[in-house]
């Protein structure tokens, strides 16, 4: 395990006042941006809004006139079943645009929730549409983001539907650590995860009791500690081997962390 190079937090203090630079960093994980593209992104007007932990940012059936860039905190997508049970669909960290699809789909078909205290930058759809008309390469980059979203959804379906509870847990945590590392927050061996065991249960399709049992077993095996909102992987090589994690579905090979497993290696 490598020690974190900075205090564990779900924000970059140097960029909390520059959400567009976070968006640039995120897009550069998966594509090349020209200087003109970066200038065009920085021309976008935005409005900062803060959300306390456990609050809903937007709800199913809302009609939005903007999309948001995550500036800090941990955000999730979620849907409610008819009997009131909740399924978390994805986690989102700084630089992500979790509601980009509302640029073309007029109505939200799920909830967007701040799991921790969160800050987002709201960008009007009209400004995004203007940008995509004037900068076709940026239009392609944003389209690629929605395609990567679909890739992540496919992997989460496999995770909930075909991996056992232990492997589901390890795979999900490895994904979050990988993505945080790629954005320059912490290390794969230690990273912030400010959620409850009930949140984990809703993401993994398990009960909170089952989640607690899996976490206890991983701790007893010396593989993982999860306390004080921090995940610590104690036996990184073994954890990577057992997690069944292959970063291919994140499509970040051009900027993958140095200590990530190679494509297809786990």
Give the tens place of pLDDT for each residue, 58-91.
999 999 999 999 999 999 999 999 999 999 999 9
Whether 262 has a pLDDT exceeding 80, the answer reads no
Residue with tokens 């940012």: 57
Mean pLDDT across 180-187? 89
Whether 221 has a pLDDT exceeding 80, the answer reads yes
Whether 8 has a pLDDT exceeding 70, the answer reads no
Whether 141 has a pLDDT exceeding 90, the answer reads yes
Task: Specify the DSSP element, H or E, that contains 174.
Answer: helix 165-182
* pLDDT cut 70: percent of the chain above it: 91
Angle separating helix axes 165-182 and 236-243, nearest 10 degrees: 120
Most confident option among 68-72, 181-185, 227-231, 254-258: 68-72
pLDDT score, position 11:
84
pLDDT score, position 12:
83
With cut-offs at 50, 70 and 90, classify the pLDDT of residue 6: very low
Contact 248, 264 (CB under 8 A): yes
Cβ neighbour number for residue 38 with a 10 Å cutoff? 17
- Could you give the count of Cα atoms lying within 13 Å of 23 in the half-sphere of its Cβ? 29
Whether 2 has a pLDDT exceeding 70, the answer reads no
* C-alpha to C-alpha distance for 253 and 266, rounded to whole angstroms: 15
Residue 140 CA, chain-centre distance (Å), reads: 21
Domains, the chain, ranges and CATH? 19-158 (2.60.120.10), 163-255 (1.10.10.10)
pLDDT digits (tens, 9 = 90+) for 90-126: 999 999 999 999 999 989 999 999 999 999 999 999 9
Cβ neighbour number for residue 42 with a 10 Å cutoff? 12
Distances in whole angstroms, Cα of residue 115 to Cα of each of 55, 131, 152, 219? 7, 30, 19, 24
Mean pLDDT across 135-142? 96
* 3-class state of residue 147 by DSSP: helix
* 3-class state of residue 113 by DSSP: strand
pLDDT score, position 253:
61
């Amino acid at each position: 395990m490598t020690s974190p190079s900075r205090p564990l937090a779900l924000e970059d203090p140097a960029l909390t006042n520059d959400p567009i630079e976070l968006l640039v960093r995120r897009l550069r994980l998966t594509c090349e941006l020209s200087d003109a593209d970066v200038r065009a992104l920085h021309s976008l007007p935005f409005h900062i809004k803060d959300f306390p932990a456990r609050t809903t940012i937007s709800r199913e059936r809302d009609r939005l006139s903007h999309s948001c860039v995550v500036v800090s905190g941990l955000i999730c997508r979620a849907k409610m079943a008819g009997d009131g049970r909740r399924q978390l669909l994805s986690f989102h960290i700084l630089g992500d645009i979790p509601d980009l699809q509302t640029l073309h789909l007029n109505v939200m078909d799920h909830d967007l929730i701040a799991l921790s205290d969160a800050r987002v930058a709201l960008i009007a759809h009209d400004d995004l549409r203007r940008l995509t008309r004037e900068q076709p390469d940026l239009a392609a980059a944003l389209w690629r983001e929605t395609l990567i979203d679909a890739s992540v959804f496919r992997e989460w379906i496999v995770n909930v539907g075909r991996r056992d509870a232990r492997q589901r847990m390890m795979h999900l945590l490895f994904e979050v650590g990988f993505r945080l590392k790629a954005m320059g927050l912490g290390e794969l061996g230690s990273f912030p995860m400010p959620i409850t065991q009930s949140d984990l249960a809703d993401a993994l399709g398990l009960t909170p009791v089952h989640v607690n049992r899996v976490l206890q077993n991983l701790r007893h095996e010396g593989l993982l500690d999860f306390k004080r909102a921090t995940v610590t992987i104690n036996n990184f090589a073994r954890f990577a081997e057992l997690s069944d994690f292959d970063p291919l579905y994140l499509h970040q090979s051009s900027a993958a962390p140095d200590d990530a497993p190679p494509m297809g290696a786990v």
